[in-house]
Amino acid sequence: MAVEFKIAGLDYRSATVGVREKFSFTESGRRELLREIAPRVREAVLISTCNRTELVVVSEEEPAGLLQRARGGGNFFSLSGEAVVERVFEIAAGLHSQIPLEDQILGQMKEALLLARQEKVCGALLGQLFQRAVAAGKEIRTKFKALPHEASAAAVACAEASAFYKSLKGVRALVVGSGEMGMAAAKLLVERGAEVRMTQRRRRKDGVRPPAGAALIAYDARYEALRECSLVICATASPHCVLAAEDFSDDGAKRLMIDLAVPRDIDPAFAERPSVTLVDMDGLGCKALPEGFMREIRKSLEANIKRFHEWLDVHECVPYIENICSFAEREMVEGLGCESEEERLRVKEASRAMMNKLLFSMKKGVDMDMAKECYRALSKGVRA
């Protein structure tokens, strides 16, 4: 592969939630890092979620070093070349998520790509890689939607709560956070018969309202509501704890507290209380997909990865083809002695059409590696 893709980072398999939260980036933090590394990379996209922090680059620089300079030392994995393409496609497919095939990663990858484009550090290469990976992820979820499994952390959390209480009917629950995950958790709890209260700091820009049956309360009233609830699910984007043990005296009430955030929303000190059962993202576990489904998913991924490489091969040839076509245009105009602008344009168009037909037919007649060598040699010759 002529283009050297690189990736480095950590995920739930290589780092605990306590380590991952140290390398978690808010939106402003992601923008800051991308701006900082922009002069040293050709392209870059940063994925930062509760499961992972991974920096993908097209660069001679090592992404692990860029992350270390931003946040200090870490036990980062590093991949390059073909392995990077495979990993990005597998991330989009949900194969590297704690909850296999979970949907949220697709939105997170699109957001990461958009942010990189806004910061002008993402071009055609990573743009195509992420777009095609997300499209493959959607295709896989559509194809395997009948697979019986929980498809989000919110669903797994509610299943955990159902098992803990035997039934959620009548259970008083507090959901801290009204983002996508909080909304999903509240909806599922209401459907299971829980009495749900949900905090909201400000009205959502998208106008989405909480599910019918969930009562909105002010964020500042969360401790008061917690006093009256035996189940709490936290899912905010806060960079620090939103429920601190020192701010909530132990009343001895039996509670299940589920933390779906990284960095963590719930103070780990709550786990020291005998009456409290605290579960974080790592505590929710990871269930493997059936082997038969995995084979089919990987077959689908292989087909999509092959199409990406076909695009990449053509993309790598475009500069060579452009040099050859431009040379042919100049030679034809000069050789025919075109005097008027109209004549020059007609000759250029005819010349380019002929050269494109010739050069692209070469690609069909020989294998791609040989075609690239021919394009490269011709391009070098016309520049001499």
> What angle separates helix 291-336 from helix 124-143, to the nearest 10 degrees?
140
- What is the distance, to the nearest Å, from the Cα of residue 259 to the centroid of all Cα atoms in its chain? 21
Dist CA 353 CA 359 (whole Å): 10
The first and second tokens of residue 251, run together, are 């009343």
Binding site annotation covers 178? yes
Binding site annotation covers 51? yes
Binding site annotation covers 285? no
Strand partners, 7: 56, 79
Choosing from 50, 241, 317, 325, the catalytic residue is: 50
Binding site annotation covers 181? yes
Dist CA 64 CA 73 (whole Å): 9
Looking up tokens 């507090």 gives 174
Q: Do 319 and 143 contact (CB within 8 A), yes or no?
A: no
Binding site annotation covers 265? no
50 is catalytic: yes
Dist CA 327 CA 351 (whole Å): 10
The first and second tokens of residue 226, run together, are 């917690």
Binding site annotation covers 180? yes
SS3 of residue 58 by DSSP: strand
Binding site annotation covers 374? no
Q: Do 57 and 83 contact (CB within 8 A), yes or no?
A: no
Q: Which of 94, 138, 107, 118 is closest to 44 using CA atoms? A: 118
Count how many residues are written for the chain: 384
Binding site annotation covers 97? yes
Amino acid letter for position 185: A
Binding site annotation covers 118? no
Binding site annotation covers 131? no
Binding site annotation covers 322? no
Dist CA 20 CA 262 (whole Å): 7
Q: Which of 129, 95, 90 is closest to 112 using CA atoms? A: 129
Binding site annotation covers 49? yes
Binding site annotation covers 103? yes
Q: CA–CA distance from 100 to each of 36, 89, 197, 233 (Å)?
A: 33, 14, 29, 21
Binding site annotation covers 182? yes
Q: Which residues are documented as binding site for NADP(+)?
A: 177-182
Q: Which residues are documented as binding site?
A: 49-52, 97, 102-104, 108, 177-182
- Residues designated as active site: 50
Q: Which residues are documented as binding site for substrate?
A: 49-52, 97, 102-104, 108
